[in-house]
């Protein structure tokens, strides 16, 4: 299998998707899996902005510094460049389906569909809440990251 690439997409690319990116990078590194990972938002409000300070603190509490991440908006090229594009919730999945170019090759999925028992659920947006919401988000994206790594390892073994 060629090196897989994963893009996580939420609304603003400052809370959920950067945490998902960090979680997958960490889980892939633990597993010794070579993977390309990035994140983006469907909206353009936070282009070139660092992740929300609460997201940064949550990642740092797990030994991961995401202060250098910068928000960006998803592009048509992303659907050709990445193997998988994971939406963090149903609204973003609908938006991604709408903007996906006809020649897009990426598999488009809802992130929590990767976690048994969580199919159809979105990752709750912690932006308007407190620090506890970011811990819940971290738990969700970490569970999904582990499932993605397991899935990619299974595909690699059968190739």
Tell whether 46 is covered by a domain: yes
Tell whether 156 is covered by a domain: no
149's enclosing H/E stretch is helix 131-158
Tell whether 25 is covered by a domain: yes
Tell whether 159 is covered by a domain: no
Is residue 54 annotated as part of the catalytic site, yes or no? no
Residue 94: give its domain's CATH number.
Answer: 3.40.50.2300
154 pLDDT band, cuts 50/70/90, is confident
Domain span holding position 62: 5-151
Q: Residues 38, 52, 78, 125: which is the catalytic one? A: 125
Tell whether 138 is covered by a domain: yes
* Six-digit token string for 76: 């048509």
CA distance 127 to 45: 14
Question: Does pLDDT of 159 surpass 60?
Answer: no
Q: What is the pLDDT of residues 78-133, one digit of tens each?
A: 999 999 999 999 999 999 999 999 999 999 999 999 999 999 999 999 999 999 99
Is residue 10 annotated as part of the catalytic site, yes or no? yes
Is residue 16 annotated as part of the catalytic site, yes or no? yes
Tell whether 157 is covered by a domain: no
* Six-digit token string for 132: 């506890």
Query: Do 6 and 148 meet the contact criterion of CB atoms below 8 Å apart?
Result: yes
Per DSSP, the residues of 55-70 read HHHHHHTTT---TT--
Q: 3-state class of 110 per DSSP?
A: strand
Tell whether 158 is covered by a domain: no
* Six-digit token string for 154: 């299974």
- Structural domain total, the chain: 1
Tell whether 34 is covered by a domain: yes
């Amino acid at each position: 299998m060629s090196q897989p690439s994963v893009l996580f997409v939420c609304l603003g690319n400052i809370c959920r998707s950067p945490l998902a990116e960090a979680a997958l990078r960490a889980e892939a590194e633990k597993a010794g899996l070579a993977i390309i990972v990035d994140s983006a938002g469907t909206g353009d409000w936070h282009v070139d902005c660092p992740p929300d300070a609460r997201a940064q603190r949550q990642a740092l509490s797990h030994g991961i510094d995401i202060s250098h991440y910068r928000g960006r908006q998803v592009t048509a090229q992303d659907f050709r460049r990445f193997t998988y594009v994971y939406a963090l919730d149903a609204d973003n999945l609908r938006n991604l389906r709408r903007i996906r170019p006809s020649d897009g090759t990426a598999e488009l999925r809802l992130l929590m569909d990767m976690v048994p028992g969580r199919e159809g659920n979105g990752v709750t947006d912690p932006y308007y809440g407190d620090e506890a919401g970011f811990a819940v988000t971290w738990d969700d994206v970490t569970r999904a990251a582990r499932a993605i790594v397991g899935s990619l390892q299974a595909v690699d073994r059968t190739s």
